[in-house]
Amino acid sequence: MAVYTHVSAEALSAFLRRYAEVGELVSAKGIAEGVENSNYLVDTTTARFILTLYEKRVDVGDLPFFLDLLDHLADRGLPVPPAIRDRDGVAIQTLEGRPACLIRFLNGVSVTRPTPDQAATAGAALGALHAAVADFDGGRPNSLGIADWRPLLMRCGSDLDAIAPGLFARVDAALAAVEVAWPHDLPTSVIHADLFPDNVLMLGARVTGLIDFYFACRDIRAYDVAVMHTSWAFDPQGAPLDGVGPALLAGYGGALGLSAAERAALPVLARGACIRFLLTRAWDWLDTPADALVTRKDPLAYLRRLDWYDAHPEAFA
Ligand SMILES: Nc1ncnc2c1ncn2[C@@H]1O[C@H](COP(=O)(O)OP(=O)(O)O)[C@@H](O)[C@H]1O
Ligand SMILES: N[C@@H](CCOP(=O)(O)O)C(=O)O
């Protein structure tokens, strides 16, 4: 469960009074999913909201970019949850000493074993997102992009071998190969950078919500497709799901299209995405505070994906 900061009922009641038409607090529960921020499901006398308190990896200076991006995407009809503004028009608040936003609740559930139909509509939603940001001027560099992976590997160091014997050497070698082959001339744009199944809300095969834009940044657009492939085309343990990867690419291709150069780069982009999530999961695995209500995510599920991509060069043909 991701609740790092505890919010008292008194503080939350006072917080909600900053907003017009939000009503009085009825209940608040810490949300089990998520690992980055503290999230609460808040019911009031008028509606349901998500309360997010921003934690370790979110820089408060980046919040205006994230919120502007959500407003931009919502204006273009994408199912994203804008932050609610208070009576003074302020979206970014402080609660229990942390930056915090009250966010519109969206219906839907995230799938753990996507079907090809669900992957196709989710891929199309990423294509629509990339189309919609074509006229969005904001941006921030990717704070977990390829240049950050080797420093993160070195920070984890030999502790990686406590997770699995030989893990440091395996990731070191895989990263060296990715660094050599990384493309530098593909189209860039604002990307989500973390569009895992748990960040897409669905009803059946309909996408009802795209959430958790707190890694959004400017980077290689096809890297976003690769991140989706690594997270959608496998079960949570890292075993491939029949037909899901091709359906995802077809959905994205139908909405926006992949150039030959982008498609050719997907194998290295996907291996890079595996390394990124393996390393951040490993760091969290080694570093999670003992009293945090958070379920650590398995780094080795991304080692299995890395092995699978190595063994299946035809995956993106
Ligand atoms: N706007 C929203 N509408 C409905 N549920 C949401 C919304 N935002 C977050 N959630 C729920 O909260 C969970 C954690 O949110 P998320 O932003 O992924 O957290 P984190 O940033 O900590 O990873 C999601 O998996 C989802 O269940
Ligand atoms: N998606 C990443 C971790 C970020 O957590 P999220 O709940 O915001 O997606 C992973 O699974 O390692």
Which ranges constitute the DSSP H helices of the chain?
9-16, 63-75, 116-132, 146-156, 160-163, 167-181, 221-232, 244-255, 260-287, 300-311
Instruction: Record the pTM.
Output: 0.95
Which atom in ligand 2 lies closest to the alpha carbon of residue 199? Answer: 9
Task: Tell me which residues of the chain have a pLDDT lower than 50.
Answer: 1
Whether the Cβ atoms of residue 191 and residue 224 lie closer than 8 Å to each other: yes
Q: Is 272 helix (H, G, I), strand (E, B) or coil?
A: helix
Quote the pLDDT of residue 35.
Answer: 77
Q: Is 204 helix (H, G, I), strand (E, B) or coil?
A: coil
Quote the pLDDT of residue 290.
Answer: 55
- Return the best residue to mutate from 31, 196, 234 for the ligand 2 pocket (most ligand atoms within 8 A of CB): 196
Quote the pLDDT of residue 294.
Answer: 66
Rounded Cα–Cα distance for residues 279 and 170 (Å): 12
Whether the Cβ atoms of residue 96 and residue 5 lie closer than 8 Å to each other: yes
Q: Which two tokens mark 130?
A: 């990339």
Quote the pLDDT of residue 195.
Answer: 98
The two beta strands, 98-104 and 188-191, are: unpaired
Which atom in ligand 2 lies closest to the alpha carbon of residue 280? Answer: 12
Q: Is 284 in the pocket of ligand 2 (CB under 6 A)?
A: no
Of 13, 14, 11, 18, the C-alpha closest to 84 is 18
Whether the Cβ atoms of residue 20 and residue 4 lie closer than 8 Å to each other: no
Q: Is 228 helix (H, G, I), strand (E, B) or coil?
A: helix
Q: Which two tokens mark 193?
A: 């950078």
Domains of the chain: 9-104 (3.30.200.20), 116-316 (3.90.1200.10)
Residue with token string 């995405």: 273
**pLDDT tens-digit profile of 141-196?**
999 999 999 999 999 999 999 999 999 999 999 999 999 999 999 999 999 999 99
Quote the pLDDT of residue 78.
Answer: 98
Quote the pLDDT of residue 287.
Answer: 82
- Return the best residue to mutate from 198, 234, 280 for the ligand 2 pocket (most ligand atoms within 8 A of CB): 198
Exposure string (b/e) for 86-122, b if CB count within 10 Å is 16 or more? beeeebbbebeebbbbbbbeeebeebeebbbebbbbb
**Rg, Å, the chain Cα set:** 20
